[in-house]
Structure formats: structure tokens, C-alpha cells
């Protein structure tokens, strides 16, 4: 995809997420690999609803900021995914309400999302719940690097989800699935809902070639 087309796609998908309430104000950030190995990144302090394709931060293949506005302060988080997952073509971070709410409740840190439907398993694999960090803390990137590329999605406690995908569209679809599953988990909390059992989860993992450790 050309640089110009990728810029337009990033802004279109970001605006869609914003308009449907998956992030708000100036929260969230998005990045994508360019054809030459560089990165396009949403600027710091910008709203997903009003991103300007021409003002996206541009990095070259060596990681130098070569154009556009100053990038998001969460660059260490994005860089950690690109550096540890060769398949990562895009990274999206949101402050989506239901996922953040679920992160404040007791959870399995190694597998944050309950397997309520096959779709979160298919699109996300296991989601690692990371502890709270101050926004912009490089330690978030270090925590992702510590996973050695084993997870495509993490949940930052009291903060928001971060998902890497092969494309911008794939990353956005996956993070929407994360939020939808978190919403289901909250709606069903305490109701004795039937989640997928281990045999069913393994069938999904095997049938759709899901990364699952």
C-alpha cells in the first residue's frame, strides 16, 4: 500500500473507532509499517476523530523521525511490538471503557479475556494483563519486550488495550473484538455464564491456527 493510501486508511479507521465510542478525547494512538520499512504514527495529543493524514508522524526504517508532528508519547510501546513480532504491520492502543473496567477486577493475568466466544480466541490469542504504568513510561515497552513476541495483545491495567496486527484493518478488528468480549464479560459477571471449555478452546486454536501458549 502506498504511503498516501496508508495515511488515509489509518485516519479513516481511527475516526470510525472514535465515532463509535471506542476511545475518546485525545486518547489512543495508532501506527503502521510503511512499504519502505518505516512507520506512520499518530501525533501526541491528537484525537482519533480528527487525525490529519498529512500530519502523521513519519519515521524512516532506521527509526529516525523524519516528518510530520511529534509522535505519541507511547512510542516505546509501539516499538516493542514491532521489534519483537516480525508479523506486526500495525499497532493500535485505545482507552476503551469496558476493557478498562474489566482490568480493574480480579482476572487471570496470563489470559485476561474469558473465552466467551471463539472470535476473541481467533483474533487475539491469549491477552496478557500488564500492571499499571504511568502513561508514557518506557517500562511499558520493556514489559512487552519481556514477552519476547509471544502475545499480539496486552491489556494495560487501569489504562487500555494494545493490539498488534498484520495490517491496520486487522489490528482494529482485533481490538474491537477485545472490547466486545470485555463488555460481554461485564454483562455476564455473576450470572453463571457458560464460557467455552478447554476442549472447545483447543478446537478453535487448532482449527484456526491461533498462537496460544
pLDDT of 56 over the 90 cut? yes
Output DSSP code: residue 37. Answer: S
Residue reference for cell 477485545 = 178
pLDDT digits (tens, 9 = 90+) for 90-115: 999 999 999 999 999 999 999 999 99
Scanning the chain, the segments in alpha helix (DSSP H) are 3-19, 75-84, 97-103, 118-124, 139-145, 168-188, 198-207
- Yes or no: say if 129 and 109 are a contact pair by the CB < 8 Å rule: yes
143-155: b (≥16 Cβ within 10 Å) or e: bbeebebebbbbb
- Yes or no: say if 142 and 80 are a contact pair by the CB < 8 Å rule: yes
Grid cell locating 61: 526504517
Strand partners, 93: 29, 162
pTM summary value:
0.96
R_g of the chain computed on alpha carbons = 17
CA angle (98, 20, 106) in 5-degree steps: 5
What integer pLDDT is reported at residue 192 of this predicted model?
87
pLDDT digits (tens, 9 = 90+) for 120-142: 999 999 999 999 999 999 999 99
Output DSSP code: residue 31. Answer: E
pLDDT of 213 over the 90 cut? no
pLDDT digits (tens, 9 = 90+) for 148-206: 999 999 999 999 999 999 999 999 999 999 999 999 999 999 898 999 999 999 999 99
Active site residues: 74, 119
Q: What is the mean predicted confidence (pLDDT) over 71-80? A: 96
What integer pLDDT is reported at residue 89 of this predicted model?
98
pLDDT digits (tens, 9 = 90+) for 4-48: 999 999 999 999 999 999 999 999 999 999 999 999 999 999 999
Domains of the chain: 3-207 (3.40.225.10)
Grid cell locating 177: 473484538
Residues 6+ apart with CB under 8 A from 105: 189
Amino acid at each position: 500500500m502506498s504511503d498516501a493510501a496508508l495515511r488515509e486508511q489509518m485516519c479513516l479507521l481511527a475516526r470510525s473507532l472514535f465515532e463509535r465510542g471506542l476511545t475518546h478525547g485525545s486518547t489512543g494512538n495508532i501506527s503502521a509499517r510503511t512499504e519502505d520499512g518505516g512507520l506512520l504514527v499518530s501525533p501526541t495529543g491528537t484525537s482519533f476523530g480528527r487525525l490529519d493524514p498529512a500530519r502523521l508522524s513519519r519515521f524512516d526504517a532506521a527509526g529516525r523521525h523524519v516528518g510530520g508532528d511529534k509522535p505519541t508519547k507511547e512510542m516505546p510501546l509501539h516499538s516493542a511490538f514491532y521489534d519483537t513480532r516480525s508479523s506486526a504491520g500495525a499497532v493500535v492502543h485505545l482507552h476503551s471503557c469496558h476493557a478498562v473496567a474489566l482490568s480493574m477486577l480480579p482476572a487471570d493475568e496470563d489470559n485476561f479475556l474469558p473465552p466467551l466466544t471463539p472470535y476473541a480466541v481467533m483474533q487475539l490469542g491469549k491477552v496478557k494483563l500488564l500492571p499499571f504504568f504511568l502513561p508514557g513510561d518506557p517500562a511499558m515497552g520493556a514489559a512487552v519486550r519481556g514477552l519476547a513476541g509471544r502475545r499480539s495483545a496486552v491489556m494495560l491495567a487501569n489504562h487500555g488495550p494494545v493490539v498488534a496486527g498484520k495490517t491496520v484493518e486487522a489490528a482494529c478488528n482485533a481490538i474491537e473484538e477485545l472490547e466486545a468480549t470485555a463488555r460481554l464479560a461485564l454483562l455476564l459477571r455473576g450470572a453463571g455464564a457458560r464460557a467455552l471449555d478447554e476442549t472447545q478452546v483447543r478446537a478453535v486454536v487448532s482449527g484456526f491456527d491461533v498462537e496460544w501458549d
